[in-house]
Amino acid sequence: MAAPVVIVMAVLIGYPLARGFYLSLTNATEANVARDIGMNDIPASYDFVGADNYLAILTGEVGDFWPRLAWTVVWTVVCVVAHYGLGMALAILLNRPIRGRTAYRVLMVLPWAVPPFVSAFIWRYLYNHEYGVINAALENVGLAPVAWLNDPTVAKLSVIVVNVWLGVPFMMLALLGGLQSIPREYYEAARVDGASSLQRFFHITLPGLRPVSAPVVLLGTIWTFNQFPVIYLVTGGGPGDSTELLVTYAFRMAFQGIRDYGGSAAYGILILALLMVMAFVYQRSLWRGGQAW
């Protein structure tokens, strides 16, 4: 009975993963893999190099792995906390009976409905040093323009803002769904018992949202960790390579110049390993903590 599932998994996930892992143990590049191009039939000439690619990356010889990882972690934590916090606040606001609630909800989802590359290009334009809308607005009210994407720290803040703007709607929608599944009777009972609104939030809302929060935070973390379009399209990893995440860096390795298949595969496998460890630890802590919230 399980055969079709196993076959599909093997073809769609297993083979590419195994192939990628195998490549990460070789020194394959575009110049030494086998290719048969019309008149040119070139045999493969790459070798198995064991863990060399991993060692080169982890010792910092290629790929600036550790500084990239540090920034990627900062980026992920800041973005996910902001996604969750703002998403929660908006969800609570919109869960109240207010006039035009549906319209607000639809508007709030807009950033999510726009394809990320479109948003990224719009933001890149908004941020432009000399011709951007944000600086024009600042100058209009007599403030000095900010070179949003020139300074590494400011550029990092700028891309975080873009990603938060993109990610909040999803959190808000998910949490709104969660809020509506919490029975109203709990709140009524709490009010009768004289619980304050803060107490109601911490003892009813948060625990009630747990079945929703746990997976969306995990998903959000993985998405943010691997958020390619925002970085690639807003700053291109710049200024310099200061906003480059692990994934955008792996892409650079894989596709710039003579393609380095072995090295970029090793980089990709390391990213996968990091995320798997993170997901495992997260699940364990939820499971062990029981009422974690």
Partner 1 sequence: MRRTCFGAVSATLLLLASGCGSGGEQQETADPQEVSGEITFWDTSDATNEAPVFEELVEEFNDTYPQVTVNYENVPFDDAQDNFKTAAQSGEGAPDVMRVDVAWVPEMASLGYLAPLDGTRALQESEDFLETPLSSTRHKGQTYAVPQVTDSLGLLYNKDLLEEAGVDSPPETMEELREAGLTVAEETDADGFYVNASDGFYLLPHYYAHGGDLLDTREKRITVNSDTGVAAVEEVLDLIDSGAAAEPALTDTYATMQTAFKEGEVAMIFNGPWAMEDIRAGSAFSEDLDNMGVAPVPAGPEGQGGPTGGHDYAVYAGSEQLDASYLFTRFMASEESQARIAAELGLLPTRSSVYERDSVAGNHTVSAFTPVVEDAQPGVWIPQSGTLFEPFETEIPAAVSGETTPEQALDAIADRYSSSLPEEWE
Considering only residues 180, 196, 197, 256, which one is a binding residue for partner 1 as defined by CB under 8 A? Answer: 256
Instruction: Tell me whether residue 209 is exposed, middle or buried, using C-beta atoms within 10 angstroms of its C-beta: 0 to 12, 13 to 18, 19 or more.
Output: buried
Closest approach of Cβ 131 to partner 1, in Å? 6
User: Could you tell me the smallest distance in angstroms from the CB atom of residue 47 to partner 1?
Assistant: 15
Given the complex with partner 1, which of 38 and 115 has the nearer CB atom? 38
Q: Per rule CB under 8 A, is residue 257 in the interface with partner 1?
A: yes
User: Which residue lies nearer to partner 1 by CB, 71 or 223?
Assistant: 71
The residue among 14 and 240 lying less far from partner 1, judged by its C-beta, is 240
Residue 41, token pair as written in the block: 């039939």
Q: Is 145 left (phi over 0), alpha (psi -120 to 50) or beta?
A: beta
Query: For partner 1, which is the closer residue by CB, 37 or 141?
Result: 37
In the shown chain, the binding pattern of residues 122 to 151 toward partner 1, with x for contact by CB under 8 A and - for none, equals --x--xxxxx---------------x-xxx
User: Interface residues for partner 1 in 19-48 (CB under 8 A)?
Assistant: 30-31, 33, 35-42
Q: Closest separation between CB of residue 235 and partner 1, Å?
A: 6
**Residue whose CB is less far from partner 1, 62 or 92:** 62
Interaction of residue 289 with partner 1, rule CB under 8 A: no
Min. distance of Cβ 149 from partner 1 in angstroms? 4
**Per-residue binding letters, 231-250, with partner 1 (x by CB under 8 A):** ----xxxxxxx---------
Question: Which residue, 75 or 127, has its beta carbon nearer to partner 1?
Answer: 127
Residues from 154 through 193 that contact partner 1 (CB under 8 A)? 155
The three-state DSSP-derived secondary structure of the chain is CCHHHHHHHHHHHHHHHHHHHHHHCECCCCCCCCEEECCEEECCCCCECCCHHHHHHHCCCCCCHHHHHHHHHHHHHHHHHHHHHHHHHHHHHHCCCCCCHHHHHHHHHHHHHCCHHHHHHHHHHHHCCCCCHHHHHHHHCCCCCCCCCCCHHHHHHHHHHHHHHHHHHHHHHHHHHHHHCCCHHHHHHHHHCCCCHHHHHHHHHHHHHHHHHHHHHHHHHHHHHCCHHHHHHHCCCCCCCCCCCHHHHHHHHHHCCCCCHHHHHHHHHHHHHHHHHHHHHHHHHHHHHCCCC
Least Å distance, CB 148 to partner 1, is 8
| CB closer to partner 1 out of 130 and 193 | 130
Using CB under 8 A, list all residues that contact partner 1. Answer: 30-31, 33, 35-42, 62, 124, 127-131, 147, 149-152, 155, 235-241, 255-259
